[in-house]
Structure 1
Amino acid sequence: MRALELFCGIGGFAAAAAGRGIRVAGAIDQSPSALDVYRLNFPGHDAWQLNLENVTPEELQVFGADFWWLSPPCQPYTLRGAGRDASDPRALSFLRILDIMARMAESALPPHLALENVEGFARSETRSRLVRLLSERGYHLQECRLCPTELGVPMRRPRYYLMASRRRLDPPVLVADMPLTPLGDYLDGNGRDGGLLLAGEVVEKFGKGFRILDPMDPKAYATCFTSGYGRSLMHAGSYLRCAGGVRRFAPEEIARLLHFPEGFRFPDRMTLRKKWHLVGNSLSVVVVRKILEAFPEMNTPLPSSSVKGEPRGI
């Protein structure tokens, strides 16, 4: 199966697709920084920098994809945002794709697609437009909310997922809560706390509002990391107690909590803040793998010799 990643970011879908019956035919994002990370880790994928507000039907069809993965901007639907929904300019790129799909010939429509967004998307006018369009175009639909903690990952990141197929879908994904993997399993063991430490006066002034975790606590779990982590002190993610005081999570640690492979890396000259921004905008790879189980055609692993674009080791 050939897949097209729309709003690909740093490659959460590509990481989830590795080793399955999926070949990523193309990936599109407008962020040059995100694409720098994507291309570094998935050099075999055809990654394009393009503002999807201006995409043409031909540019989507050229990949010959059987499956589209979409992670459109979440800001129009976040609880802390203005809640402008479809009237938010940042929704225009996704609305453009819906407009194209409404006018596509039957033979040009992708047989399968899936979408990820924040929980607020489930209550949006944009979601209503999407569901109405897909139903009119003959897709079978499933919708669900999943969080990595339901799969044993010690990080909260609840998200809305939609799965659609013009053929069939397996029954809805049902997940029994799994015991949490210890948070310490995701952390660096090399003691590199220096650049991550919070100033003592910051902790003293704001610490009561922080979620500060003990890495040795077997029940510890991080709250959702946002793109503002490292810039905003509050409501952007958790902190860790360490020998030197209190520190932020390293971007590589957050990538592990998202279940990117151990070899996943960032360009050498990329700043900490930019790395935090990019992982805060990314996907939970382990949850995406679970979502893909709804599509029977994707449940046949590729031979290891034919898997393209897997993240390279450090």
Structure 2
Amino acid sequence: MAKVVQERRPIRALEFFSGIGGLHYGFHLSGVLGEVVSSFDVNTVGNEVYRHNFNKDPNNVSILFSQFTSIDTLSAKDIDRYQANCWLMSPPCQPYTRGGKMLDDQDPRAKALLHLIDILPKLSQPPEYIFLENVLNFETSRSRIILLTQLDSLSYTVHECLLSPLQFGIANDRLRYYLMARRRSAGPSADPTTKYSERAMVHTRWPFEGEEVSYEPVELARVLEQGVDEMEEFRVPEKDLLKSFDFRFDIVRQTDRRTSAFTKAYGSRHFYKAGSILQTKQIDVTSYDFTNPSTLIPLGLRFFTPLEVARLHAFPVPPFGAQPDPPSEPEQPAEPRSFRQPTSPPYLEFPPTVTTIQRHRLLGNSLNCWVVGELLRCVLFKMKSEEVNEW
């Protein structure tokens, strides 16, 4: 096995299942030279937000296509036109979630991902880099095996992990699956022992090798908006609390350094298991009687605002309130960084036509931009020039 040094070309990325642009923001945070040249999604509200912030239409309708084109109808010729060397993907999670039927590759919502996997060898030049994000359980899915088998056949080097933003110093426990694949230049291997799918390892520590880093998240007070606690819009309605007999949900205070994962149901009357609820009164009360919901009413429980959730997901937003301390700079470009709340444009901002419920839903379907950025920077795009194993 020899090693060659390969100079990196600027990245031309396609963003599939783009939503509100979480992968696009993560790409910016990675600092890699390049651009997201186009994105694809069927969610019209998400596309509206994406257009508002990036000034470009998902699906690039006006340039390439005479009508709306969904991912599962894209041809190899359609994709080849972009001359992209990187794919960023965050496919629908419903086929793999515990709350769903877990139909996996038999779920219609997995069709688009399976189509992209199938189309890879049909491209004139398969992407050099592939990044995929999904939920816990994807790592045990048939869809993953189909993907890994295809990546093996095209001679990709693969890294997989299950990581939470807590491991990066962010006060949100959102465990997610990530895959990073980089194509080797020497073509498919004739040696079956090199097949990643037969010796796969899903990392659960950060970084994957060397000494594990440990960052303490900042207190939640650092992400909270001012003047929100008494706003009716964000209070948990008393009538919904009183109906929640023995439903144990996550109550946090502004001095805490952790929140649970926010889902697309957050902000609705189905608030249990949808994300953390903030306690704004009687802060000395830390023990809760969920069998007597009336005792929870005096605690001033409220939902996190969309802007607060966005900050916990590390989206770049306009600065407000006290800012986190700047991180210590790493000695080498590819070393892990301590978290710093992104505050540089392009910002995540919602058009006024998008309601609060829609904002919570879109954020619950999104991802953590900082985690994506660090995995791109430290793993997928490791150096400006890199050593690639030639088999």
Alpha carbons of structure 1 residues 298 and 257: separation in structure 2 relative to 1, 3 Å: farther
Q: Which moved more, 1:240-249 or 1:250-259?
A: 240-249
Cα deviation for residue 229 of structure 1 reads 1.2
Distance 1:65 1:8 in 2: 16
How do residues 215-226 of structure 1 correspond to structure 2 at under 5 angstroms? 215-217=254-256, 220-226=257-263
Residue type at the aligned position of 1:237: G
How do residues 1-314 of structure 1 correspond to structure 2 at under 5 angstroms? 1-18=11-28, 19-43=31-55, 45=56, 47-48=58-59, 50-105=69-124, 108-167=125-184, 173-174=207-208, 175-191=212-228, 193-206=231-244, 209-217=248-256, 220-231=257-268, 232-243=270-281, 245-263=300-318, 264-292=348-376, 293-296=378-381
Residue type at the aligned position of 1:22: G
Contact 2:155–2:184 under 8 Å retained in 1: no
Aligned residues: 293
Q: Which moved more, 1:137-146 or 1:45-54?
A: 45-54
Cα deviation for residue 298 of structure 1 reads 6.6
Distance 1:39 1:207 in 2: 42
Cα deviation for residue 40 of structure 1 reads 1.0
> TM-score by structure 1 length?
0.87
> TM-score by structure 2 length?
0.71
Tell me which structure has the larger Cα radius of gyration: 2
Distance 2:383 2:81 in 1: 21
The Cα offsets for residues 111-139 of structure 1, whole Å up to 9 and x where unpaired, read as 11110000110000000000010010111
The Cα offsets for residues 132-187 of structure 1, whole Å up to 9 and x where unpaired, read as 1001011111111111000111111111111101148xx98435231111111111
Q: Which runs of 5+ in 1 are unaligned?
A: 301-314
Residue type at the aligned position of 2:16: L
The Cα offsets for residues 84-111 of structure 1, whole Å up to 9 and x where unpaired, read as 1000111001111111113334xx2011
Q: Which moved more, 1:27-36 or 1:173-182?
A: 173-182
Cα deviation for residue 297 of structure 1 reads 6.2
Q: Which moved more, 1:88-97 or 1:234-243?
A: 234-243
Secondary structure of the corresponding residue to residue 141 of structure 1: strand
Q: Which runs of 5+ in 2 are unaligned?
A: 1-10, 60-67, 186-202, 282-298, 319-347, 386-391
Cα deviation for residue 299 of structure 1 reads 5.7
Alpha carbons of structure 1 residues 183 and 299: separation in structure 2 relative to 1, 3 Å: farther
Runs of 4+ more than 4 Å apart: 297-300
Distance 1:142 1:163 in 2: 5
Q: Which moved more, 1:190-199 or 1:63-72?
A: 190-199
Cα deviation for residue 294 of structure 1 reads 1.0
Residue type at the aligned position of 1:13: L
Provide the residue aligned with 1:303 in structure 2. none
Distance 1:274 1:179 in 2: 31
Distance 2:51 2:16 in 1: 15
Distance 1:253 1:79 in 2: 26
Secondary structure of the corresponding residue to residue 206 of structure 1: coil
Residue type at the aligned position of 1:152: G
- RMSD of aligned Cα (Å): 2.1
Distance 1:29 1:296 in 2: 25
Residue type at the aligned position of 2:14: L
Distance 1:205 1:250 in 2: 23
Residue type at the aligned position of 2:177: Y
Residue type at the aligned position of 2:33: G
